Structure 1
């Protein structure tokens, strides 16, 4: 032990001394054991008596001839007896019931052994505010709800220089060059964008500000309606085939079905886990059914007509689900997960027909079906886009790898142009990247902000229009 320095105290002087951890522990244990002096200051008789007292509390070692049951041999593993119940002294009598007055329980109070714990005033005010709003609300922001013929914004406009009713993919696509419009109506990051099915005259967006918003892509390009009803960030949205309804999934563990036109919440679905991805079945026969990829590694199938009932459960993945893509004329679907694997399923049959997990695979966070229906492009977390066949074999196309962007650590969206010629993807550094589908060469990189661009959608009818959004909350429209 090395002395450090002296200190004058009332009873003389004290010295600072260095103790090794072992010495300190042994002295500390000795005092803890009896609450008295360490063994150094005990006589031999005291030490022996103490050891005998400890041994006396030990159970018997048992008989070596008995293997199990009462009196079985336990040897050196015999336990020490412990008092089962704490003895309460006479002076520690339990308080009588009369001493605790009955406290009227208010709605927002918690009663705990006679005392009332009140919630903070701020929390109560917020709760009352939310209750006053009701569960689901909607606000119409447009200049007029009906046009001169009594039609709402659901009507596909026909006074444009483009036919929005033609077949999707019939026009030749080109790469956009500049921003032509922007919407700044979300107060947080934008998590998903969806154009109205086939016509693309409306744009739906899901935000981290707990709302879903829809806006006009033509005419005044105004914000039309806000759908409020989730208490946490909205993770994904999906239109049904006709666009009359859409689903929203949120981190509040709820999936809600909304009427696109009126803003009314029609149904709610939950399994108690967080939904990461939702997809309506595009097949007309099963148009009332949808799949939800959950945080607890399950893919659950619901029917919108029976909200409280899970129709089917696909439970083979080992981690949270990231993507669901319907393939093979909607008879099958492919899923990826954080478990770095890809699985293909027959619809309604909860056993995978294909399981792909290679040692060099990374988690695939987003997917886009090629318009031909033969391939699915996946955003792989090692900064590349990989392509898998969507037919019987589900093999990876090793020749197709799109690189030149950063996507690791974020669910960054990607989309194929309607004619299948180009592939667009977001980027962590705020770019939008465009590749040629056949040659895998990057044509163009547009700067679309300072934060990650996580949403990219090609317009289904226009030749070169693309909508992008990301963590900065701004939605940009390119041409």
Structure 2
């Protein structure tokens, strides 16, 4: 606005004339300022009576921000944020008063002490009445003086409870020692145990049964009675079981217009068009059907009515023999390589080995768990071994000759549903309720490959392709998924067959012998046929009243297909 009046220094030696002049000048300036102020007020301008004065370019005052404030309502500058707190600290406050309280009486600093040492001193004090003096004063005796009962200190020599342990009689026991690694048979190492120690041996069958009885009583379930195996018998339904040359019905017929002994599949397969025959005899739903090995002139079926039946495929198509031996539904059946024997696995927890021709039950096996699938090792030199997938997540290998378990594969997390041999029978693939697929080397109880994907579902039916290259799996999300059966066992994402409904059912699937088609049953009783190369659905038709649980393509006939359903019928299509 205008410059402030400059004050002049007065001198004692200055003239009185100068004083008069200055007084006059001062009066004039005052009059001028009053006039100017009046003109500013008349124009509506405000007067700043105390203007801001800046000293050497820095501001004199800064807005103070309290350090305890949680919210700032303006945009502070850097200098304002980092200004020190206003006012001096209270010099009379002690460190404890300045710190925030963390207990009722004030503030306690953290101090480290080993948990063991604290417990050691606490127990020593409660047991003997003395402990180390906890005072910390930096003196020479710090951590050496004891407080408490002086007499007890003298009696125990100042030892803590942990130092005063007395050797118990068990601590003097002698160990069995043999640390010589060259002694292969007798080497004990750290597993020697004590000389007077009793090793716990696995209980015998009688002891196990007694233990189970005791446990059953405790849990108030009542007495658990071990079910004795059902009396096995079989009924022959045909009179001409032996032909004029003395050959049984196991011998493939040679007058049916097709060579049933050939190993070469048909050159070209065709879609079946008509229903040509129905086998009836089972009173309840069928769970599995199997061709007689190589020739497929006989068909074996097992059912929920606890029976296994053998049927003729050619000529009169009669029921040849019925095998009775299970108390509950039969889940799976499997022939050996020459078809002279077969296995049946039932919900009564028994796996039974039958003579196909005579109908005699050769032997029975049980692991006290439900077997869901059973299969012979396909190698000719291992026909005495078979594997079974059980409800307790294990795959158990039995030796038929001794009746003993020779190997257990225990890595699955759910009941084992299928076992499929691949790679010239050196390996086998298993699927389980844990939605995974595992690949095993024969006789090695650790899976060499584990396939599990968050998108995968349980796969209760698996079939190997005729060229041994692919595994077709019935997935519970209404799809057929394909895995390569060589080396990597990778899922083939491009080949997925859809359109049918199988969720909740273990519907079997099969390839045509020339690998041009793949077939599957479904929950509505329909049979589906897809093209293998294009994955296009070619045909579907109503085959059964209930679930169509299994489909099998005849290995020698180019267009013949067998389906089995929960209506207890087996149907033949051409």
Residue matched to 1:360: 455
Query: SS in structure 2 opposite 1:139?
Result: strand
Query: SS in structure 2 opposite 1:166?
Result: coil
Contact 2:266 2:557 in 1 (8 A): no
Asked whether 1:153 is paired with 2:252, we answer: no
Contact 1:168 1:418 in 2 (8 A): no
Structure-2 change in CA distance of 1:271 and 1:68 (3 Å): farther
**Equivalent-residue separation in structure 2 for 1:280 and 1:171 (angstroms):** 29
Match of 1:278 among 374, 377, 383: 374
Asked whether 1:172 is paired with 2:268, we answer: yes
Query: SS in structure 2 opposite 1:285?
Result: helix
Residue matched to 1:374: 469
The correspondence of residues 32-47 of structure 1 with structure 2, limited to 5 A, is none
Residue matched to 1:400: 495
Asked whether 1:296 is paired with 2:392, we answer: yes
1:340 Cα deviation after fit: 0.5
Asked whether 1:470 is paired with 2:549, we answer: no
1:151 Cα deviation after fit: 1.8
Residue matched to 1:188: 284
Residue matched to 1:252: 348
Residue matched to 1:235: 331
Residue matched to 2:444: 349
Query: SS in structure 1 opposite 2:501?
Result: coil
Residue matched to 2:528: 433
Instruction: State which structure, 1 or 2, has the greater radius of gyration over its C-alpha atoms.
Output: 2
1:165 Cα deviation after fit: 1.0
Residue matched to 1:384: 479
Contact 1:430 1:449 in 2 (8 A): yes
Asked whether 1:313 is paired with 2:408, we answer: yes
Residue matched to 1:287: 383
**Equivalent-residue separation in structure 1 for 2:126 and 2:422 (angstroms):** 62
1:174 Cα deviation after fit: 1.4
**Equivalent-residue separation in structure 2 for 1:220 and 1:197 (angstroms):** 20
Match of 1:335 among 418, 425, 430: 430
How many aligned positions are there? 355
Structure-2 change in CA distance of 1:305 and 1:399 (3 Å): same
Using CA pairs below 8 Å that are at least 6 residues apart, which structure has the higher relative contact order? Answer: 1
**Equivalent-residue separation in structure 1 for 2:240 and 2:125 (angstroms):** 85
Contact 1:280 1:291 in 2 (8 A): yes
Contact 2:545 2:566 in 1 (8 A): no
**Equivalent-residue separation in structure 2 for 1:324 and 1:419 (angstroms):** 23
**Equivalent-residue separation in structure 1 for 2:543 and 2:495 (angstroms):** 26
Structure-2 change in CA distance of 1:409 and 1:65 (3 Å): same
Q: Deviations over 1:401-452 (max 9, x none)?
A: 0001001001111011122111110000110000111111111002112211
**Equivalent-residue separation in structure 1 for 2:559 and 2:377 (angstroms):** 28
Query: SS in structure 2 opposite 1:445?
Result: strand
The correspondence of residues 1-80 of structure 1 with structure 2, limited to 5 A, is none
**Equivalent-residue separation in structure 1 for 2:521 and 2:124 (angstroms):** 69
**Equivalent-residue separation in structure 2 for 1:476 and 1:461 (angstroms):** 17
Contact 1:334 1:342 in 2 (8 A): yes
Query: SS in structure 1 opposite 2:381?
Result: helix
Q: Deviations over 1:353-381 (max 9, x none)?
A: 10011111100110010111111000000
Match of 1:197 among 285, 288, 293: 293
Taking structure 2 as the reference length, what is the TM-score of the superposition? 0.60
1:200 Cα deviation after fit: 0.5
**Equivalent-residue separation in structure 2 for 1:282 and 1:172 (angstroms):** 27
Residue matched to 1:223: 319
Unmatched segments (≥5 aa) in structure 1: 1-63, 71-126
Match of 1:419 among 514, 527, 532: 514
**Equivalent-residue separation in structure 2 for 1:182 and 1:69 (angstroms):** 88
Q: Deviations over 1:303-333 (max 9, x none)?
A: 21121x1111100000000111100001001
1:66 Cα deviation after fit: 5.8
Contact 2:266 2:558 in 1 (8 A): no
1:67 Cα deviation after fit: 10
**Equivalent-residue separation in structure 2 for 1:355 and 1:377 (angstroms):** 17
**Equivalent-residue separation in structure 1 for 2:124 and 2:324 (angstroms):** 68
Unmatched segments (≥5 aa) in structure 2: 1-120, 128-226
**Equivalent-residue separation in structure 2 for 1:176 and 1:295 (angstroms):** 37
Instruction: State the Cα RMSD in Å.
Output: 1.9
Q: Deviations over 1:278-326 (max 9, x none)?
A: 111111121221110100000011121121x111110000000011110
Residue matched to 1:450: 545
Q: Deviations over 1:89-120 (max 9, x none)?
A: xxxxxxxxxxxxxxxxxxxxxxxxxxxxxxxx
Query: SS in structure 2 opposite 1:409?
Result: coil
Contact 1:168 1:198 in 2 (8 A): no
Q: Which runs of 4+ in 1 moved over 3 A?
A: 64-70
Structure-2 change in CA distance of 1:353 and 1:68 (3 Å): farther
Query: SS in structure 2 opposite 1:319?
Result: coil
**Equivalent-residue separation in structure 2 for 1:67 and 1:186 (angstroms):** 80
The correspondence of residues 121-136 of structure 1 with structure 2, limited to 5 A, is 135-136=231-232
